Amino acid sequence: MSSLFLPVALSFLARSVLANPVPLVTGTALPPNIAQQAGGGLSNQPGGPPKLSQNGIDSFHLANFLENLESNFFQEGLMNYTQWGSGNQVNGVPNMGVVSRIAAQEEVHVASIVGLLQGNGAQPVAPCEYNFPVTDEKSFLALASIITNVGIGALIDLEAGLSTTDAGLEATVGSILPVESRHDAFFRIYAKEVPNPTTFETRISALWAFNLALDFIVPNSCKNLPPSITGLQIFPDLGIIGYGGPSFATPNSPGKLIFQVGQPNMLPQGWNSRPLYMAWVNQNDVPAYTPVTVQGNELHADVHPGMFGIAFAALTNQNTATNINDLTKATLAGPLPIPLGPGQ
């Protein structure tokens, strides 16, 4: 079995116009019944929300931005179930019921972050308009897995940042993370993949998460974003145009991918005056690098062996960065999430 499945290439997907963006909660008041639907509402906090540092506020602004996207995605998907019917079943439970619970949980996550920001005198981040390349239940749940893994990677980064400035909030973020992983286990079981593909979840950087979110945001649809978000660097997209796997691809020999940069004019001057590499980020491992050969506008690179779950690839012209933050500074294009098979 091929160890790669690539049903959802994020960057080059058509952007059909979203007819009716779903309104999201923008205050701390939650719609009635949401706590019941989610399995719990806002946490009660005697003495009000904890005090945030400036780094904490900036970090939760980005978390708000990302969770808005996730919440909107699941609410829109839930609405789509009215056309899809109650969906297929995992363990005899119709998928629509699980998605309804996920949507409610994401809504409570958003409302919790909004409450935290407001309790610190900071403006919450308003939702943007989104555009998701979903055509049916199957592609919805496949994209759900990718979006959830981006969220997981960003939440680990949020925890890491808070550990130096707002350590009291680490455990709060830690209480959200496994909920997201439970969601992903469900998406994976539905796709007949193992629910627990990896030993560790994969951390990404805030800037990478921001760039991944942009793939689903209607241009110029975000209003009043805080400067900590508008100031973030935008990388050109990295997309996959072909998979040249060996006929018996395994995790140890997973094959070759052909990449393309979506907007080559956004690449910095002199980007290819040094050797190019594809950087691979997976679990807690230091970034791995495979050489890139350029053929016209195609970038050919081997997939780094021994990765599981979802890996993140980025184009770079160095192979010495040993952590996600240094790699983010040296990113030329991407990142791109790449789902890998279970290796069985």
Chain contacts with ligand NAG (rule: CB under 6 A): 16, 73, 76-77, 80, 132, 134, 140
d(CA 10, CA 209): 13
Beta strands per DSSP E along 192-330: 238-244, 256-261, 277-281, 288-295, 298-302, 310-316
Minimum Å distance from CB 22 to ligand NAG? 9
| Of residues 69 and 315, the one with the C-beta less far from ligand NAG | 69
72 CB neighbour count, 10 Å cutoff: 25
> Which residue, 137 or 201, has its beta carbon nearer to ligand NAG?
137
Helices (H) and strands (E) in the chain, counts: 8, 9
Instruction: Give min distance, CB of 216 to ligand NAG, in A.
Output: 9
| Least distance CB 328 / ligand NAG (angstroms) | 28
- In the numeric block, the tokens 């060996």 are attached to 246
* Beta carbon nearer to ligand NAG, 37 or 80: 80
**DSSP code at position 201:** P
Tell me the two tokens of residue 161: 């940042």
What SS3 class is residue 108? helix
Identify the residue whose tokens are 């979903």. Answer: 134
Beta carbon of residue 77, minimum distance to ligand NAG (angstroms, whole number): 4
The phi, psi pair for 306, rounded to 5°, reads 80, 25
Q: How far apart are CA 229 and CA 325, in angstroms?
A: 17
Could you give the CA distance from residue 81 to residue 156 in angstroms, rounded to a whole number? 31
Q: How far is the CB of 16 from ligand NAG (least distance, A)?
A: 6
Query: Least distance (Å) from ligand NAG to the CB of residue 132?
Result: 4
For ligand NAG, the closer CB: 98 or 207:
98
CB of 72 to ligand NAG, least distance (A): 8
* Complex with ligand NAG: residue 60 or 140, whichever CB lies closer: 140
Cβ neighbours around 190 below 10 Å, total: 21
Nearer to ligand NAG, 13 or 258 (CB): 13
Q: What is the DSSP letter of 192?
A: T
Cβ proximity to ligand NAG: between 132 and 190 the closer is 132
What are the distances in angstroms from CA 55 to CA 161, 167, 258?
8, 12, 38
Per-residue tokens: 24: 């999201």
Instruction: Give residue 135's identity as a one-letter amino acid code.
Output: T
Is the CB of 77 or the CB of 124 nearer to ligand NAG? 77
334/327 Cα distance (integer angstroms): 11
- Comparing CB distances to ligand NAG, the nearer of 147 and 332 is 147
d(CA 313, CA 117): 32
Distance of closest approach, residue 162 Cβ to ligand NAG, in angstroms: 30
Helices (H), 34-94: 34-38, 54-84
Q: Cis peptide leading into 337, omega within 30 of 0?
A: no
Q: Provide, rounded to whole angstroms, the least separation between the CB of residue 134 and ligand NAG.
A: 4
